[in-house]
Chain A
Amino acid sequence: MMPVLGYWFGIAWLDAILRLAVIAGVMTVVVIFLTYAERKVIARVQQRLGPTRTGPAGLLQGVADALKLVLKEDLRPTTADRWVFELAPFMVFVPVFLTFVAVPFTRDLGVRFLSLGLFYIVAVSSLNIVGFIMAGWGSDNKYALLGGVRAAAQMISYEVPLVLTVLGVAMVASSLDIRVITERQDVVPYIVWQPLAFVVFIIAGLAEMNRTPFDIPVAESEVVGGPTVEYSGIRWSFFQLAEYSSLFVLSALGADLFLGGYIWPFGSNPPGWLQLILILVKTSFMILMIFWVRATFPRLRIDQLMSYCWKVLIPVTVAQLFFNGLVLVYRWPDILLLVFSGALLVGATAATAVAVRRAARRPRDAQAVRDRRLQYARGA
């Protein structure tokens, strides 16, 4: 199907243009319906109906919203840094679209299959930090600035555990080609061998996407949308586009890496339509889980987010890599991968829960803590 799309005409540049058009088209449609799905899912969690009026069962709500955004006036604050402000949305959404290139949906369906696909995705996806900082700085708004700096700190920090988890999978599969990784899971998906990696992948992914409970940079109740606060109309919709595209790409990637993608549980070579259904079901599962998290969890604070990353996620993922290495080098039985990873997962979860509860019970001298913070921030 797809890999031969442009080559039907035998023209390389036409091929490239066609592929780009496919990305843009598919992504837009996907995003429109993801926003609809999110509103519906969250509405149901909250005992509401969600959109019902536009089109059958409200299905066209996303389309209507997209139209409205396109037609809206594109405002720019007079004091904003013009180029930085106007380019920021593109810097946010282009990297996300670029990651789409390397995600295989079925064995044959994908824009490009790269032998270093995993590496490519990890490298490209972290570029949009620049866009958030640009938006935060260029808006000339203190909320935006605060949000932009928060975004930078958070996304750089959470890049590390994200890379470490996909590295764990890559080690087990001994490949960086996502198609190869997926096809190694024809019998057992990697969520079984690397449960810790799966959980941390979702957590770090949520943080990368600025989604609840890590929506600190765009926190509605604190910084009122953060970097996007001054944007309107089409430029704002680019941020929205980027957010939901990365949600889709990350879910598809997670499905490929951990849930057996388009292969498991139907043997090594299911028919093409079945592959497509499989990947869509698994991606939807990931997306639903993320929506569910969004509907129920409060938001962390930036310092808690950081300490959670550096004190919990990175140590356990590094430990998991270490154990993976031991198992693979000494050719211990595969079940030990599960044992180590599972033990780390249970241990880290329990330790976090206990630590939070213990800190909650322990009295402390509030004034001393505040004074220390104030002093420390002064650089004394």
Chain B
Amino acid sequence: MAEESAQSSPSAEVDDGVPELFQRSFPDVTFQAGRNAAGQAILSVDRKDAARVLRGCKEDPSLGFDYLRNLCGVDLEAQGIEVVYHLLNMRTKQNVAIKTVAPADDCWVEAITPFWPGANWHERETREMFGVEFVGHPDPRNLLLDEDMTIHPLLKAHPLADIELFQGVDVF
């Protein structure tokens, strides 16, 4: 569909130096850098490093990504659940998305709520919607769903149309 004249090419690659900045700050962590459609940096890290990198983002003034815009999960089906953290540096106005993947059969990531209070409800929501366990979360109750609900509605495996099947049946 890119041949349509109404569409221009996605934003040109911008070089805001964010991936390099992260690589300098965490030399021992391997980042897979990418760009989203708005030209903002995406950094994928291994989940064992994720919490450490995020703590650095918040507490290291040279990084300064101390504003958590968004935290959510994305279902990658076979690869597991991807947890995405959208961060902002208010001074330099740079954005970065940190991504980490939790495999479906061993679905956990480290919680960042202990040092980042703004992540609290986002992690709770991601947990109940995708079944990702946030290790070290101080209050891992269901947030939006019923407290005893054990299904994870935002998984692609959870059907939308067949919801009637779940109603009235003792699934919960």
Complex A–B touching at CB under 8 A: no
Residues of B within 8 A of A (CB): none
